[in-house]
Amino acid sequence: MERVYLDNAASTKILPEVLDELVENYRNCFGNPSSTHREGQKAKKSLENSREVIAGLLGVEGKEIIFTSGGAEGNNLVLKGAAEAYSYKGKHIITSNIEHPTVLNTCIELEEAGYEITYLNVDSDGVVNLEELKNSLRKDTIIVSIMSANNETGVVQPINEIGRILSKTAIFFHVDAVQTMGKDIFYPKENRISAFTASSHKFYGPKGTGFIFLDKNFLLKKQITGGHQERNRRAGTEDVNSIFGMQKALEVIYGNIFNEQRHEKKLHDYLEKRLREEINDITINGEGTKRLNTITNVTIKGCDVQTLMVALDLRGIYISAGSACMSGAFLESNVLKAMHLSKEDLRSTIRISMGRYNTENDIDIFMENLKEIVKIERGE
Catalytic residues: 325
Asked whether 289 and 339 are in contact (CB, 8 A), the reply is no
DSSP assignment string, 180-199:
TBTTB---GGGGT-SEEEEE
Query: What are the φ/ψ torsions at residue 237 (nearest 5 degrees)?
Result: -65, 125
- CA atoms within 13 A of residue 224's CA, in its CB half-sphere: 20
Which residues are paired to 213 by β-bridges? 65, 196
180 and 149 Cβ atoms separated by less than 8 Å: yes
- The answer to whether 29 and 48 have CB atoms below 8 angstroms apart is no
Q: Fill in the DSSP letter of residue 340.
A: T
95, containing H or E segment: strand 92-96
Q: How many CB atoms lie within 10 A of CB 179?
A: 26
Using DSSP bridges, classify how beta strands 65-68 and 210-214 pair: parallel, antiparallel or unpaired: antiparallel
What is the spatial distance between Cα 234 and Cα 350, in angstroms, rounded to a whole number? 37
Residues 6+ apart with CB under 8 A from 226: 235, 236
Nearest to 352 by CA among 301, 306, 303, 317: 317
- Identity of the residue numbered 267: L
For residue 303, the 8-state DSSP code is -
Distant-in-sequence, close-in-space partners of 71: CB < 8 Å, separation ≥ 6? 100, 102, 176, 178, 197, 198, 199, 202, 210
Q: Are 144 and 162 in contact (CB under 8 A)?
A: yes
**Residues pairing with 351 in the sheet:** 297, 320
Q: CA 204 to CA 8: how far, in whole Å?
A: 9
Q: How far apart are the C-alpha atoms of 355 and 181, rounded to whole Å?
A: 13
What is the rounded distance in angstroms from the CA atom of residue 8 to the CA atom of residue 30? 30
